C-alpha cells in the first residue's frame, strides 16, 4: 500500500477512533453553532413580538373631537392606553411628564395647543396657515419609538388626510408624483445583503479554526511528544510524511468546515421563517449548482492554503505552545480580512485584489452571494491561493528534512 | 555491520543554549573524529558520562543526524546518501522516541510493519513471536496511554522490532525500566546477538556493559578514548573492573581538556 495513504489512514483513524475527539471536533461546534443562532433568533423574535404586543402608554393633551375620532378610527387606540388631559393639567405636570418619557413610563405625548381647534377649522375652510402640534417620544426606548411610528402611520395619517380632503376635496390632487417602488437585483440575490456580508467572514474564519484545531497537534504536538521521530526513523520519505500529514489535515478540517457550515445553514433555515432574522436575508439565498461548485472550489483552495501555513508554523515551532502563540495573531489578521469585505462599496473591485490570499477568497465568496463573481476573478483568486499554498508546502517538506527543526538538535 | 568513520558533529548554540551550558562559545563539538566498527553477532557498547556524545553518535548511525565530517555505513549503505535503505535495516530504540498514545499496541505494530514494507502474513507471524517473547498478549488491545511506563517501553521495543532488523541501535536500553523488564530486554538483546544481528547500545551503567557487551568504546567529551574487549581495556588501563578503568580514563582526559583550554 502507498505509504502516503497509510499515513492518512492512521491520522484519520486517530480522530475517528476516539469518541472524545469526534465530539470536540465535530459534534460540539455544531451544537454551539445551532445553540447560538437559535438563541439569537428566538431572542430577536421574542423582542420583536414583545415590542409589537406592548400596549403603548400615550398621553394626549387638549384633544379635539376630530382628533379623538381619528385616533379611534385609525385603530391606534386598540394598541394603546390613552390618557386625555387638558392644557392646564399639562402645564402643571409638564416636567413630571417629560421625566416619565425619559424613564420609559410614558411612551408618547401628543400636545395640541389651546387654539388648535380654531386653527384646524380655519385650515379646513381654506384660510390661515397649518395648525401645529408637538409630539414627544424617547428614541432610546423601543416601546416609545414604535409608539411614535405607529402613531404617525395610523392616527396622524388619518387626521392629516381628513384635514386635507376637507380643504381640497380630492387628496390625490396633492400628490406631485405617483411613485411605484420596486427593488431590482440580479438573479437569486433577493434580500441577501446580510448574507453577503456575513458568509465570507464566516467561511474564512471557520475554515481557519478547523485547520488550526487539527494542524497544530498533528505536527507540533507529535514533535513535542516524540511520536513524530518514530516515523522519521522508518523507511518512508520525509515528503511522504509531510504529504500524509497535510492531506489528512485538509480532510479533517474540510469535514469540520462542511459540518459547521451545514449547521449554520440549518439553523438559519429553521430560524428564517419564524423570527426577526427573516428580513435579514437568510431565507432569500438560493445558490445555483454552479455557484455551489465555485464556493466549494474556493473553500478547497483556502483549506489547502491554511493547511500549508499552519503546517509551516507547526514544523518551525518546538512545541504546541509556541505554535499557538504564533498562530493567534495570524488568526486575528484572517478575521480582519474577512471583516474588510463587509464594508466594500462601489461597483467594481480591481481584479488584482482577488490575488491576495484570504482577502481575495473572501471577495469571491461575497461576489457569489450576489451573483457578481466573474470567471476571471474566480480564476485569479483560485490560482493565486493554490499557488502560494504550493510554495509554502515545498517549504514545509524542506523543513521535514531539517534535523535542527525535527529534533531541536 | 556498522562502520563509523571519523565522524564529527558540531551543534550551533543558540543564545538560550549558551546560557544553559554556561559557555560563550558559538558551537559545541558533540562528537569529535570518532571511528568505530560494530560487527554482526556482537553487542557493542558506547560508554560515557551524560553529554559525552553517545546519543549524538547513535542518532548519526540511525540517519536522524547528518555528521559534519566523516561518514557512517550501515550494512554497506551510507546513512546520508542512502538513508531510506539504512532505515529499512535498522531499529532505533530510545526513550525520546515514543509511540502515539492514542493507538493500541496491535494497531501500531501492524502500521509500522506496513510502513516497513512487510506483507500482512509476515506482520502476523512477527506479532506472535514478539508478543510471546515480551509477554505482551494481554496488553495488545490496550491503548498506549493505558500502559505503565515499563509496558510502554516494552511496547516501543516490540513495535520497532517488527521488521526483524539486521541492526539494532539502543540508546540506554534499561533506562526507566523495572528490574524484571530490564532483564527481559537484556535477554532479548543477547538473543538477537545469537541470531547474528549487529547490536549497538549506549549506557553509563558499567556493570550492565560488563555483563552485556562483547566490545566497548568509551567516549569522553565527544572523543573515543579507548576501544576493545573488556579484558583488553582492563589490561591496557591496569585496572580490575570497568568502573575503575572508566574513572582513570575520565581523570586523564578531562584533565587534558583543562590544559587545552588554558593554552
Look up the ipTM and state it: 0.86
Q: At B167, is the pLDDT very low, low, confident or very high (cuts 50, 70, 90)?
A: very high
- A403: chain B residues, CB-CB within 8 Å: 64-66
The superfamily (CATH) of domain B2-262 is P-loop containing nucleotide triphosphate hydrolases (3.40.50.300)
B248-257 contacts at long range (C-beta below 8 A, 24 or more positions apart)? B249/B218, B249/B220, B249/B225, B250/B49, B250/B220, B252/B225, B253/B220, B253/B221, B253/B223, B253/B225, B254/B220, B254/B221, B257/B221
Place of cell 472550489: A297
Report the residue from A227, A232, A237 with minimal CB separation from B98. Answer: A227
List domains and CATH numbers for chain A: 3-34+190-407 (no CATH), 55-174 (3.40.190)
The model's pLDDT over A232-289, given as tens digits with 9 standing for 90+, comes to 989 999 999 999 999 999 999 888 888 877 787 777 666 655 444 444 444 445 667 7
- B99: chain A residues, CB-CB within 8 Å: 227, 230
- A1: chain B residues, CB-CB within 8 Å: 114
Report, as an integer, the average pLDDT of B102-106: 93
> Do the Cβ atoms of B112 and A229 come within 8 Å?
no
- Please name the residue of chain B whose CA is at the shortest distance from the CA of residue A8: B111
> Do the Cβ atoms of B115 and A14 come within 8 Å?
no
A100 burial (CB, 10 Å; 0-12 / 13-18 / 19+) is middle
pLDDT of amino acid B201: 94
pLDDT of amino acid A192: 53
The model's pLDDT over B105-127, given as tens digits with 9 standing for 90+, comes to 999 999 999 999 999 999 999 99
Q: Is the pLDDT of residue A371 over 70?
A: yes
pTM value is 0.78
Cα angle B23, B27, B29; round to 5: 100
Mean pLDDT lowest among A224-233, A335-344, B79-88: A335-344
CA torsion through residues A395, A396, A400, A406, sign: positive
Q: Is the pLDDT of residue B233 over 80?
A: yes
The model's pLDDT over B177-197, given as tens digits with 9 standing for 90+, comes to 888 888 888 998 999 999 999
A366 burial (CB, 10 Å; 0-12 / 13-18 / 19+) is buried
Q: Give CA–CA dist B118/B254, Å, rounded.
A: 47
Give the number of C-alpha atoms closer than 13 A to the C-alpha of residue B159, restricted to the C-beta side: 31
pLDDT of amino acid B255: 65
Could you say which residues from 122 to 181 on chain B have a Cβ atom under 8 Å away from some Cβ of chain A? 156, 159-160
Mark out the alpha helices in A17-27 (DSSP H runs). Answer: 19-22
Q: Is the minimum CB–CB distance between A318 and chain B shorter than 8 Å?
A: no
Which of A69-73, A110-114, A307-311 reaches the highest mean pLDDT?
Answer: A307-311
> Do the Cβ atoms of B101 and A3 come within 8 Å?
no
B10 pairs with which residues across the strands? Answer: B29
The Cα of A236 is separated from the nearest Cα of chain B by a number of Å equal to 7
pLDDT of amino acid A191: 41
Q: Give CA–CA dist B101/B188, Å, rounded.
A: 24
Query: Which candidate in B100, B109, B142, B159 is best for mutational testing of the A interface (most A CBs within 10 A)?
Result: B100
Q: Give CA–CA dist A297/A247, Å, rounded.
A: 16
B42 pairs with which residues across the strands? Answer: B198
Choose between A285 and A111: higher pLDDT.
A111
Amino acid at each position: 500500500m502507498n505509504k502516503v495513504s497509510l499515513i492518512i489512514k492512521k491520522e484519520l483513524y486517530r480522530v475517528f477512533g476516539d469518541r472524545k475527539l469526534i465530539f470536540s471536533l465535530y459534534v460540539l461546534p455544531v451544537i454551539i453553532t445551532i445553540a447560538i443562532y437559535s438563541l439569537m433568533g428566538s431572542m430577536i423574535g421574542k423582542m420583536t413580538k414583545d415590542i409589537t404586543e406592548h400596549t403603548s402608554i400615550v398621553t394626549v393633551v387638549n384633544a379635539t373631537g376630530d382628533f379623538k375620532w381619528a385616533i379611534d378610527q385609525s385603530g391606534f387606540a386598540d394598541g394603546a392606553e390613552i390618557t386625555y388631559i387638558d392644557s392646564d393639567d399639562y402645564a402643571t405636570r409638564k416636567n413630571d411628564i417629560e421625566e416619565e418619557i425619559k424613564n420609559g413610563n410614558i411612551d408618547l405625548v401628543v400636545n395640541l395647543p389651546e387654539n388648535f381647534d380654531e386653527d384646524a377649522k380655519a385650515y379646513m375652510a381654506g384660510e390661515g396657515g397649518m395648525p401645529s402640534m408637538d409630539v414627544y417620544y424617547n428614541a432610546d426606548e423601543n416601546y416609545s419609538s414604535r409608539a411614535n411610528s405607529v402613531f404617525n402611520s395610523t392616527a396622524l395619517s388619518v387626521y392629516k388626510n381628513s384635514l386635507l380632503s376637507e380643504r381640497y376635496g380630492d387628496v390625490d390632487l396633492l400628490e406631485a408624483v405617483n411613485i411605484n417602488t420596486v427593488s431590482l437585483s440580479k438573479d437569486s440575490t433577493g434580500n441577501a445583503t446580510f448574507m453577503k456580508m456575513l458568509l465570507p467572514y464566516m467561511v474564512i474564519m471557520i475554515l481557519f479554526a478547523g485547520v488550526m484545531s487539527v494542524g497544530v497537534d498533528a505536527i507540533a504536538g507529535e514533535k513535542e511528544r516524540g511520536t513524530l521521530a518514530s516515523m522519521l526513523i522508518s523507511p518512508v520519505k520525509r515528503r511522504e510524511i509531510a504529504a500524509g500529514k497535510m492531506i489528512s489535515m485538509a480532510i479533517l478540517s474540510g469535514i469540520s468546515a462542511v459540518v459547521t457550515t451545514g449547521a449554520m445553514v440549518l439553523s438559519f433555515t429553521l430560524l428564517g421563517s419564524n423570527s426577526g432574522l427573516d428580513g435579514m436575508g437568510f431565507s432569500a439565498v438560493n445558490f445555483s449548482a454552479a455557484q455551489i461548485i465555485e464556493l466549494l472550489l474556493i473553500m478547497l483552495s483556502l483549506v489547502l492554503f491554511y493547511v500549508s501555513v499552519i503546517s509551516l508554523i507547526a514544523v518551525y515551532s518546538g512545541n504546541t505552545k509556541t505554535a499557538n502563540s504564533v498562530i493567534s495573531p495570524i488568526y486575528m489578521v484572517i478575521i480582519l480580512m474577512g471583516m474588510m469585505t463587509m464594508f466594500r462599496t462601489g461597483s467594481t473591485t480591481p481584479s488584482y485584489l482577488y490575488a491576495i490570499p484570504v482577502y481575495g477568497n473572501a471577495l469571491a465568496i461575497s461576489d457569489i452571494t450576489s451573483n457578481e463573481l466573474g470567471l476571471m476573478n474566480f480564476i485569479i483568486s483560485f490560482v493565486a491561493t493554490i499557488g502560494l499554498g504550493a510554495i509554502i508546502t515545498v517549504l514545509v517538506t524542506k523543513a521535514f528534512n531539517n534535523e535542527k527543526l525535527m529534533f531541536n538538535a | 555491520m556498522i562502520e563509523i568513520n571519523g565522524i564529527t558533529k558540531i551543534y550551533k548554540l543558540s543564545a538560550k543554549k549558551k546560557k544553559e551550558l554556561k559557555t560563550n562559545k558559538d558551537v559545541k563539538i558533540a562528537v569529535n573524529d570518532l571511528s568505530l566498527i560494530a560487527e554482526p553477532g556482537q553487542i557493542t557498547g558506547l560508554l560515557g558520562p551524560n553529554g559525552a556524545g553517545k546519543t549524538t553518535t547513535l542518532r548519526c548511525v540511525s540517519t536522524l543526524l547528518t555528521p559534519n565530517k566523516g561518514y557512517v555505513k550501515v550494512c554497506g549503505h551510507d546513512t546520508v546518501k542512502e538513508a531510506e535503505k539504512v532505515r529499512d535495516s535498522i531499529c532505533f530504540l530510545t526513550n525520546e522516541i515514543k509511540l502515539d498514545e492514542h493507538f493500541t499496541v496491535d494497531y501500531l505494530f501492524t502500521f509500522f510493519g506496513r510502513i516497513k514494507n512487510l506483507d500482512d502474513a509476515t506482520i502476523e507471524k512477527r506479532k506472535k513471536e514478539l508478543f510471546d517473547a515480551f509477554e505482551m498478549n494481554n496488553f495488545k488491545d490496550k491503548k498506549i496511554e493505558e500502559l505503565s511506563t515499563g509496558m510502554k517501553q516494552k511496547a516501543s521495543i516490540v513495535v520497532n522490532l517488527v521488521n526483524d532488523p539486521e541492526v539494532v541501535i539502543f540508546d540506554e536500553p534499561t533506562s526507566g525500566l523495572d528490574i524484571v523488564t530490564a532483564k527481559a530486554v537484556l535477554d532479548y538483546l543477547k538473543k538477537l546477538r545469537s541470531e547474528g544481528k549487529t547490536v549497538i547500545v549506549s549506557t553509563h551503567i558499567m556493570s550492565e556493559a560488563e555483563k552485556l557487551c562483547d566490545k566497548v568504546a568509551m567516549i569522553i567529551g565527544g572523543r573515543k578514548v579507548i576501544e576493545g574487549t573488556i579484558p583488553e581495556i582492563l589490561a591496557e588501563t591496569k585496572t580490575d573492573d570497568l568502573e575503575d578503568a572508566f574513572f582513570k580514563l575520565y581523570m586523564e582526559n578531562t584533565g587534558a581538556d583543562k590544559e587545552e583550554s588554558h593554552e
